């Protein structure tokens, strides 16, 4: 009995370690801070830098899918070690850039994006296996870590960039090394739960009553043949596009409404904090209220977030912009948790890693909307046009959301 308790207690070590690990891997969401010294030194345009963010999101999705396949061939542990080397290596190579933006695309977007995507998928799937009774909570904690990087490291990154003895090159170099070490440590430590481990009973009776179908395991092919998947995929793409786009230009948005440079950096951190908070709150909401209510709530929050931020831009209000950024963070944080819980509750656990990686391709599609928003910003000379687009997408998502039915 004591041995059994000891085995189960390992899950709390895993979730703590991997939440910290994902906080480092979530550096891709701090792009609005990371791009500043690059634009200053190399003179790259907003569109060129936005494309790097788009490419990073694309390779992140591809990495998630590859991670689910590679882990079956060589195991989760070796896959995580390889992902850590790839992700860290991308940042190390980027630290030696000489002005060719293609080097940025290859090192940061392709290598680091792929490595982080592989690590993200394997960590989520591996740790979730230890929490069959609290999947929403587990996903929320892990995704909170992934979404809070800008809050944890934002001010530090800004300070290091401004330090002449350190600068952005050494910052990229050391951050890459530390991130690689963290992911590789997770690869060495994490183990799958043994078949004889008995977990506590989940307290999800109320939530299960809200679903009118019995969950069964579906392969990726079966999942892709269901209309419910495609409706939900487009719905989630629309919602993710709101957060993705704002994250890519959050600092510039704050500056445009009158924030100082220091406050703008802080607000990127606040957005990051709300992103992380939204993930864990959504996980708890899913466990308590069920999938249907959670998906509707996330959608309504996205509409309010986009609308509030649009108004702040129109009337040039910094306080309202701050509220809007907080709401955008909460709404965006809800999206990955909804995606994880959706894949699990609709299509089961047997093929969860692969199914979840496919669901995450909504980031791939949404990243192109972020690039479109950057182009709209340039062509229109402001943020009104991008937010009109994002608000329209959030409203359209609500129509799709209502149409989601059992698989």
Q: Is residue 199 part of a domain?
A: no
- Report the percent of the chain where pLDDT is more than 90: 28
The pLDDT assigned to 317 comes to 92
Q: Is residue 24 part of a domain?
A: yes
Number of domains forming the structure of the chain: 1
The pLDDT assigned to 95 comes to 93
Q: Is residue 152 part of a domain?
A: yes
The pLDDT assigned to 277 comes to 82
Residue 211's domain spans which residues?
2-194+207-403
Residue 135 is part of a domain; what is its CATH number? 1.20.1250.20
The pLDDT assigned to 209 comes to 44
Q: Is residue 201 part of a domain?
A: no
The pLDDT assigned to 327 comes to 94
Q: Is residue 202 part of a domain?
A: no
Residue ranges of the chain whose pLDDT lies below 50: 1-2, 4, 204-210
The pLDDT assigned to 274 comes to 86
Q: Is residue 239 part of a domain?
A: yes
Q: Is residue 183 part of a domain?
A: yes
Q: Is residue 15 part of a domain?
A: yes
CA gyration radius, the chain:
20
Q: Dump pLDDT digits (tens) for 38-59.
A: 998 998 887 888 889 889 988 9
């Amino acid at each position: 009995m004591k041995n059994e308790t000891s085995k189960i207690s390992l899950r709390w070590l895993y979730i703590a370690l991997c939440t910290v690990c994902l906080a480092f891997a979530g550096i891709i969401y701090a792009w609005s801070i990371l791009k500043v010294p690059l634009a200053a030194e190399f003179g790259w345009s907003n569109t060129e830098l936005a494309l790097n963010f788009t490419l990073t999101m694309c390779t992140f999705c591809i990495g998630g899918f590859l991670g689910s396949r590679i882990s079956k061939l060589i195991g989760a542990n070796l896959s995580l070690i390889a992902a850590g080397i790839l992700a860290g290596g991308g940042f190390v190579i980027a630290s030696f850039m000489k002005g060719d933006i293609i080097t940025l695309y290859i090192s940061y977007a392709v290598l680091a994006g792929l490595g982080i995507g592989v690590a993200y998928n394997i960590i989520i799937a591996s740790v979730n296996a230890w929490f069959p009774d609290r999947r929403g909570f587990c996903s929320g904690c892990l995704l909170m870590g992934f979404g809070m990087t800008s809050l944890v490291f934002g001010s530090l990154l800004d300070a290091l960039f401004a330090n002449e003895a350190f600068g952005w090159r050494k910052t990229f170099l050391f951050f890459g090394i530390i991130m690689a070490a963290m992911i590789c440590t997770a690869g060495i430590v994490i183990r799958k739960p043994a078949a004889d481990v008995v977990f506590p009973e989940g307290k999800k009776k109320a939530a299960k009553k809200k679903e009118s179908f019995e969950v069964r395991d579906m392969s990726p092919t079966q999942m892709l043949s269901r209309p419910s998947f495609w409706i939900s995929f487009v719905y989630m793409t629309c919602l993710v596009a709101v957060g993705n786009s704002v994250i890519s230009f959050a600092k510039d948005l704050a500056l445009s409404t009158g924030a100082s440079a220091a406050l703008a950096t802080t607000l990127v951190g606040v957005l990051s904090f709300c992103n992380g908070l939204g993930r864990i709150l959504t996980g708890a909401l899913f466990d308590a209220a069920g999938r249907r209510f959670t998906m509707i709530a996330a959608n309504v929050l996205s509409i309010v977030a986009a609308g509030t931020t649009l108004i702040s831009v129109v009337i040039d209000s910094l306080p309202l912009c701050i509220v809007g950024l907080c709401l955008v963070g909460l709404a965006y944080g809800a999206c990955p948790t909804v995606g994880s819980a959706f894949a699990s509750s609709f299509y089961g656990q047997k093929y969860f890693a692969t199914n979840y990686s496919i669901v995450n391709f909504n980031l791939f599609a949404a990243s192109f909307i972020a690039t479109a928003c950057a182009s709209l910003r340039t062509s229109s000379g402001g943020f009104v046009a991008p937010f009109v687009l994002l608000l329209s997408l959030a409203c359209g998502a609500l129509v799709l959301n209502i149409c989601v039915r059992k698989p």
